[in-house]
Amino acid sequence: MATFEIVVAISLLSLSLIWLLFRSKITHPLTYWPLIGHTVTFINAARLGAHDYLTYLLAQSGYTTELKGPSFTKLGYIITSDPKNIRHVLSSNASNYNKGPGFKKKVDIWGDGILAADSDSWRFQRKLNYSLFKHNDFLRMVVETAHRKLEDGAFPILDHAADLGPEVDLRDLFQRFTIEITCKFLLGIDLNSLSVDLPVVPFTKAFDEYKEVIFSRMTKPESLWRLQKWMKIGVEGKAAKAATIIDDFIYQQISLKRKRLREGLQEDVNFDMISTFMKVEAEASQCEMDKPTVPISDMFLRDSVVNILSAGRDPPSSALTWFFLLVSTHSLVEQKIREELKVAFGLKEGEKWQFPSFQDINKLVYLHAAICETLRLYPAIPINYKAAIKPDILPSGQQVGKGAIVLILFYAQGRMESIWGADCLEFKPERWISEKGEIIHVESSKFTAFSAGPRSCLGKDLALMELKLAIAAIIWNYHFKVVEGHSVVPANSIGLYPKHGLKVHVTKNNRA
């Protein structure tokens, strides 16, 4: 097709979309248009805020529906928040659903790491991670690191803000906190990003930019975003720069780790994940192949690091951010948590926080309930992507073709009145506590903050430990008030975090 004809075709399509966007205001949001399918719906989702808009669409369609892109593309999804469908896809018929090759293309930054891998590669990595996450010395190291990063990092920043009055972006603060912990147990390093001058951490910003790019790829025909990627324009241009920043940092750390191991500096080998991976893979190679020990590939290590960095930084920091947004606007909840801390640890107002053991802090029922309620409304991973290996029929009756993509919307499920009642949009930790004062168990197909089935979150206990340690210490020492007029809405991303951060004013509770 001649260049002139291409320009005319694009112009006509653009004018058609503008007209349809206008018409969509007076038609049903799921109207299927000839030739372009549900393109208007995809555009509206990106324009109006994808997570809330898709939640609205599901409420209008019985919690399961199908979205299709232009007829000349393969863009299309079955979206659902129906617990019966979730149980079917993630648990009872999980063997028929994997991530699929399409997912790997969209999340190419993850390579063949545990978040994107299927089959043997996924099982191997999960086994490695599981053995380490359950190690008592590893857990002790994580607790000690969390204490140190709070006492020497987060507290001085919050004290400075309380004394001198500058606003603090809690999303940025908590990302620094969680990436410091993750880098310590993953790479054995301190980034030293938790200082009052808040130094720039380029690869942290790069992670955020790439996650938004991944989300944008889910709303576009593959041919379009791959063309943008090849031309390095638009969001794909940002992705290319972000990938370079991420890879440069990780490969540098791998190189330094190899150098330290060669020099015999292996003091953290049992609790540093990458050193452990090197050691385990090398031993397996020697045992199975009867060859001298050889290092595993840098690519495997790179994929492992980028996946664990992503999983270790983003979900916990997201949960902390939304938690303090909710608590800052629900003073009674904050008061109840503080009262629980006083009773559990014999504290009095003005006393310094002593960092109790995780075993003791894990007994705090109301705190646990408040965390669950936060994750119900704001699951750190709002969408789960699954591809059907063979044709299937969902319990809701939806036909699923071979290779069809099912998007499970965890964010929408937390707002379903049929599960959580008429007050489903309210923040009520009490809904998690029984008359006996115990935490009420909700099956994973209804409370999906940690997913469900074989691929449920491996780091659930580690994440909860990190959240409880940080929340208890911070809420005892500080009170936050959201800056007036500050907009707090979820970003269009595969991770759930406030698009514009969470800017607050800080006051001290007990610190001199």
Residue 14 lies in a domain: no
Residue 18 lies in a domain: no
Residue 20 lies in a domain: no
Contacting residues for 73 by C-beta, under 8 A, at least 6 apart: 221, 222, 223
The pLDDT tens digits for 50-88 are 999 999 999 989 999 999 988 888 889 999 999 999 999
Mean per-residue pLDDT for 214-228? 89
Q: Which residue, 91, 68, 87, 57, is CA-closest to 395?
A: 87
CATH of the domain at 317: 1.10.630.10
Report the share of the chain in percent with pLDDT over 90.
53
The pLDDT tens digits for 246-261 are 999 999 988 888 887 7
pLDDT at 362 over 90: no
Residue 347 lies in a domain: yes
- 457 annotated among ligand-binding-site residues: yes
Mean per-residue pLDDT for 354-367? 89
Residue 359 lies in a domain: yes
DSSP secondary structure of 79-100: EE--HHHHHIIIIITGGGEE-H
**Whole-number Å distance between alpha carbons of 296 and 275:** 11
Per-residue confidence at 264, pLDDT binned at 50, 70, 90?
low
The total of structural domains in the chain comes to: 1
Residue 16 lies in a domain: no
pLDDT at 417 over 50: yes
The pLDDT tens digits for 454-484 are 888 888 888 999 999 999 999 999 999 999 9
Residue 122 lies in a domain: yes
Is 442 strand, coil or helix? coil
pLDDT at 41 over 90: no
pLDDT at 389 over 60: yes
The pLDDT tens digits for 204-216 are 888 888 888 898 8
pLDDT at 371 over 70: yes
Report the share of the chain in percent with pLDDT over 70.
89
The pLDDT tens digits for 113-124 are 888 888 788 887
**Whole-number Å distance between alpha carbons of 19 and 66:** 23
Mean per-residue pLDDT for 220-241? 89
Residue 22 lies in a domain: no
Segments forming the whole domain that contains residue 288:
27-508
* Residue 136 in tokens: 């008592």
